[in-house]
C-alpha cells in the first residue's frame, strides 16, 4: 500500500512536466497529463478500496500510461522502468 501511494504521488509530479511543442512526439506527449490524471485517480481508488475490479482498472491505467509515456521524449526511461516493474508486481487475484 505504501509503495502504491508513493507511486501515485510520484505520478502526480509528472503532470507538471510538460512536453515542448517542437518534439517529434508532441501528440503523444499531449496525452500524458490526461493519462497521468487517470492513473492517479485509479491508483487512489485501488489503494483505498483494493478490489479485483479496482485492481484491473488500475492495471489498465498503468498500461495506458506506459503506452503514452514510451512515445513521449519528455518521460525519463527510469520512470517507465519503475511503472513497468510496478505493473509486473501487481497481482489482481490477491486483491
pLDDT tens track for 42-63: 999 999 999 999 999 999 999 9
How many Å apart are CA 40 and CA 45, to the nearest integer? 9
Residue 42, C-alpha cell as written in the block: 485509479
Q: Look at residue 20 and tell me if it is in a domain.
A: no
Q: Look at residue 19 and tell me if it is in a domain.
A: no
Q: Are 42 and 54 within 8 A, CB to CB?
A: yes
Q: Look at residue 7 and tell me if it is in a domain.
A: yes
How many Å apart are CA 56 and CA 28, to the nearest integer? 24
Q: Look at residue 44 and tell me if it is in a domain.
A: yes
Task: Name the average pLDDT for the chain.
Answer: 82
- Using DSSP's 3-state secondary structure scheme, residue 66 falls into helix
The answer to whether the predicted template modeling score (pTM) of the entire model surpasses 0.75 is no
Q: Look at residue 64 and tell me if it is in a domain.
A: yes
Q: How many domains does the chain have?
A: 1
Q: Is pLDDT at 18 greater than 60 in this prediction? A: no
Q: Look at residue 70 and tell me if it is in a domain.
A: yes
- Residue numbers of the domain that contains 86: 2-13+25-94
Amino acid at each position: 500500500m505504501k509503495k502504491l501511494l508513493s507511486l501515485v504521488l510520484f505520478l502526480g509530479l509528472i503532470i507538471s512536466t510538460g512536453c515542448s511543442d517542437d518534439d517529434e512526439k508532441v501528440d503523444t506527449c499531449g496525452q500524458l497529463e490526461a493519462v497521468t490524471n487517470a492513473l492517479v485517480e485509479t491508483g487512489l481508488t485501488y489503494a483505498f478500496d483494493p478490489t479485483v475490479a479496482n485492481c484491473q482498472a488500475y492495471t489498465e491505467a498503468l498500461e495506458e500510461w506506459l503506452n503514452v509515456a514510451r512515445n513521449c521524449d519528455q518521460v525519463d526511461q527510469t520512470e517507465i522502468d519503475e511503472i513497468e516493474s510496478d505493473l509486473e508486481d501487481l497481482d489482481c487475484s490477491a486483491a
